[in-house]
Structure 1
Amino acid sequence: MALNEQKGKDDIPESQYQKGVKQLCEKGHLNAVPKKYILPVSERPTKSSVEDPNVVKQNLQLPIIDFAELLGPNRPQVLQSLANACQQYGFFQLVNHCMLEDVVRSMIDVSGRFFDLPLEERAKYMTTDMRAPVRCGTSFSQTKDTVLCWRDFLKLLCHPLPDFLPHWPASPVDFRKVVGTYAEETKHLFLVVMDAILESLGIMEDNILKDFENGSQMMVANFYPACPQPDLTLGIPPHSDYGFLTLLLQDEVEGLQIQHQDKWITVQPIPNAFVVNVGDHLEIYSNGKYKSVLHRVVVNEAKSRVSVASLHSLPFNCTVRPSPKLVDEANPKRYMDTDFRTFLAYVSSREPKKKDFLESRKVALN
């Protein structure tokens, strides 16, 4: 029945999909989701998870880490809460951080204004090259993905900032200034949180923190247009993040869901807070003690949504391996060493699914 509803909507030229979902919505005045975005029945979000997540919310709230408490006399207790969050959920909400509310609000605002630019302006940065310092696109890989994502994105490499900032969009006029300030602030926040995570693992003397100071940082601004049939598609399918930590900023519209105990849980946005999640690299480095967790984005019929993810890891030329301090006879090495080249080769050759790349790095244990 859903496919019948697409009649008249599936003669869209392939080139039109490359221009993004927002352009498709504006051009086509869509009242149905084109077939290219319709997931197989088994992969669709159920209506209950989209429309009635409140029961789950009342019973399960993401751990909240108070940044101010982390820097105060209660640090030992907060470190324990942080360890529990990384082990049991792979996610937590970070509140009372040091970033000014104006910096946070301006980042969401300028991201929204970028996606409001005419297509000709956004098209300057559209490329399928995953190594590009600036990449505007829609699905993860428009050329390989069987089903496309109901989102548009802008990816920016951020570190070292002076190297990349001149390549960033010059429009809106305040874009570089606002995003540059936000990138620097989130980098600092990441370093302080990562220092606490290392301490929670019992690894205070590792030189890895120095590597993080010069580590990779990639920003992804996401725009999810309102969707006429949100139960047929997803903004982003289930995946885990490449890197050590992701700091996610959301507007007030719900959409992010994490998988916990085989259920999809909607993350309630907290104003001026960050949703922080463990990435694949931290799972490898912690030798499996801290888990990267599947998450996805659902869309809705009424409102568009904007989010900004800041992904942090070691420099691109570094190798990630389990910390020797977390490997012993009782806890043998569980992951192969890996690097960015291996990751790019993997994702460039196939359609990324769930935690497939991380699974490919696991060591077979007897």
Structure 2
Amino acid sequence: MPAFLLEQVLPKTTTCLPYFVREIKRMEKVLHKGFRYDTVPENYVFPPVERQKKLKASNKSIPVIDLAGQTHDEIVNQILEAGKHLGIFQVVNHAMESDVMSEMMRVSKEFFDLPFEERAIHYSEDLYKPVRLFTSTGVHDIVHFWRDCLRMSIYPVEDFKKYWPENPSNLKDAVENYARGLRKLSTTVLGLVAEGLGLDRNYFDGDLSGEPMASHINFYPPCPDPSLTLGLAKHCDPGLITLLLQGNVSGLQILYNDEWIAVDPVPDAIVVNYGHQMEIVSNGMLKGVNHRAITNAE
């Protein structure tokens, strides 16, 4: 899982007190401190009714859509059908290179493996900072989620690259390559969605999808008792689409007919889910999907 390092030499005077106070406050508000927890802290324990339960067997699977191995019309139809019924699908053969994705995952883990002191310099409660580290949702949660997050504005690259962490040393290059690939893929998917809705392929260009693109690198430390807590609670994303590089760990679940269904990882796949804005724009034809993230012991 991901971390970050900065060494500071402090003078041996009482003027150090504000620094230590700041560091103590940061440590209180960041979950991953470089050690494994023996128990779940009280402020991360959810009421029994909200905790994760063992999934029921389901015959529903998340569609995997091949963007290169079938006809254009077949792809458009599959994307539309996935949106009508589930609001989520996975895409393969999407033209983003495998090494770009694996490098992004690698440097993300390397960031969270860095010493706490280096990661902590990015901690902020300012929702508008282009780069900030936070725990849970970053607001004043009554019960915290078992998650640290590095949020970065990543596109346009030229506007935001200067704010990205300097460590790990190759993070900026990895994020730039990943951001450009994601932007290209999001434009492709939105064009196919527009066609499926009977709109001009460029319908989602401009203001509808013109806001800066942000990346949330979610880090879920090993949890000593996953039955007590959640990585993220049930929610629906606010925008048009979210693109997710899930990695090889199953933790994402969607709510379908009042039952939770696991979104199992597929090698080199990108998960695409629709949000509230897409449901509104499509007059309810495409569903904004409710989803959550669960924890595990590893």
Letter of the 2:96 counterpart: M
Counterpart of 2:113 in structure 1 is 116
Residues of 2 paired with 1:206 and 1:297: CA distance?
Answer: 33
Per the alignment, do residues 185 and 65 of structure 1 end up closer, same or farther by CA in structure 2, a change over 3 Å counting?
A: same
Task: Give the Å deviation of 1:117.
Answer: 1.1
Residue 176 of structure 1, aligned match among 155, 172, 176: 172
Does 1:192 pair with 2:203?
no
Residue 298 of structure 1, aligned match among 277, 289, 294: 294
Deviation by residue 1:334-358 (Cα, 9 ceiling, x = unmatched): xxxxxxxxxxxxxxxxxxxxxxxxx
The SS at the match of 2:217 is: strand
Are the counterparts in 2 of residues 159 and 214 from structure 1 also a CA contact under 8 Å?
no
Residues of 1 paired with 2:86 and 2:32: CA distance?
Answer: 33
Residue 273 of structure 1, aligned match among 269, 272, 276: 269
Letter of the 1:209 counterpart: D
Residues of 1 paired with 2:207 and 2:225: CA distance?
Answer: 45
Letter of the 1:125 counterpart: H
- 5+ unaligned residues in a row in structure 1: which ranges? 1-12, 304-366
Are the counterparts in 2 of residues 127 and 137 from structure 1 also a CA contact under 8 Å?
yes
Counterpart of 1:220 in structure 2 is 216
Residue 17 of structure 1, aligned match among 28, 33, 47: 28
Per the alignment, do residues 205 and 117 of structure 1 end up closer, same or farther by CA in structure 2, a change over 3 Å counting?
A: closer
Task: Give the Å deviation of 1:17.
Answer: 3.1
Residues of 2 paired with 1:224 and 1:16: CA distance?
Answer: 16
Task: Give the Å deviation of 1:212.
Answer: 5.7
Residues of 2 paired with 1:222 and 1:250: CA distance?
Answer: 10
In the comparison of the two structures, how many residue pairs are matched?
Answer: 275
Residues of 1 paired with 2:238 and 2:115: CA distance?
Answer: 31
Does 1:40 pair with 2:47?
yes
What RMSD in Å do the two structures reach over aligned CA positions? 1.7
Per the alignment, do residues 206 and 268 of structure 1 end up closer, same or farther by CA in structure 2, a change over 3 Å counting?
A: closer
Residue 288 of structure 1, aligned match among 262, 270, 284: 284
- 5+ unaligned residues in a row in structure 2: which ranges? 1-23
Residues of 1 paired with 2:150 and 2:68: CA distance?
Answer: 31
Are the counterparts in 2 of residues 160 and 214 from structure 1 also a CA contact under 8 Å?
no
Are the counterparts in 1 of residues 191 and 201 from structure 2 also a CA contact under 8 Å?
no
Q: Percent of counterpart pairs with the same letter?
A: 38
Task: Give the Å deviation of 1:207.
Answer: 4.5
The 5 Å alignment of 1:46-61 reads 46=53, 48-49=54-55, 55-56=57-58, 59-61=59-61
Residues of 2 paired with 1:14 and 1:31: CA distance?
Answer: 21
- For normalisation by structure 2, the TM-score amounts to 0.88
Counterpart of 2:16 in structure 1 is none
Are the counterparts in 1 of residues 194 and 203 from structure 2 also a CA contact under 8 Å?
no
Q: Which has the higher contact order (CA 8 A, sep 6+)?
A: 2
Per the alignment, do residues 208 and 269 of structure 1 end up closer, same or farther by CA in structure 2, a change over 3 Å counting?
A: closer
Task: Give the Å deviation of 1:15.
Answer: 5.6
Deviation by residue 1:107-150 (Cα, 9 ceiling, x = unmatched): 100100010111111111111111110011111134x2111010
Does 1:66 pair with 2:66?
yes
Counterpart of 2:130 in structure 1 is 133
Task: Give the Å deviation of 1:224.
Answer: 0.5
Letter of the 2:216 counterpart: V
Letter of the 2:285 counterpart: K
Per the alignment, do residues 146 and 14 of structure 1 end up closer, same or farther by CA in structure 2, a change over 3 Å counting?
A: farther
Per the alignment, do residues 68 and 211 of structure 1 end up closer, same or farther by CA in structure 2, a change over 3 Å counting?
A: farther
Residues of 2 paired with 1:170 and 1:31: CA distance?
Answer: 32
Residues of 1 paired with 2:275 and 2:169: CA distance?
Answer: 33
